[in-house]
Structure 1
């Protein structure tokens, strides 16, 4: 799979509980970084909405 360059940053603020949920999902799914976990979760959410 070819890597697409990432050109945009989107700073977000999270609660401790939200960050913990992301980290838990990340470790359960063996995702190497928090950023990659957030990108994958966004992709899953968008696909579930049919976008």
Structure 2
């Protein structure tokens, strides 16, 4: 599937192997179809939590 560059931006992120393994564990335990989808979900959850704490 092609990326719609008018709506999306690619970002290269380097992370420790342990964090990648934790993301993959989250992905598999939540039956998320791709690592990218799992990363996006975790980022969104983190942003939502930060907004809640800021209130």
TM-score class normalised by the smaller sequence: 0.7 to 0.9
- Structure 2 residue runs without a partner (length 5+): none
Q: Scaled by the length of structure 2, what TM-score is found?
A: 0.77
Q: Which runs of 4+ in 1 moved over 6 A?
A: none
Q: Give me the TM-score of the superposition, normalised by structure 1.
A: 0.83
Structure with the bigger percentage of helix: 2
Tell me how far 1:34 sits from its aligned partner.
Answer: 0.2
Higher CA-based Rg: 2
Gaps of 5+ in 1: none
CA RMSD of aligned residues (A): 1.5
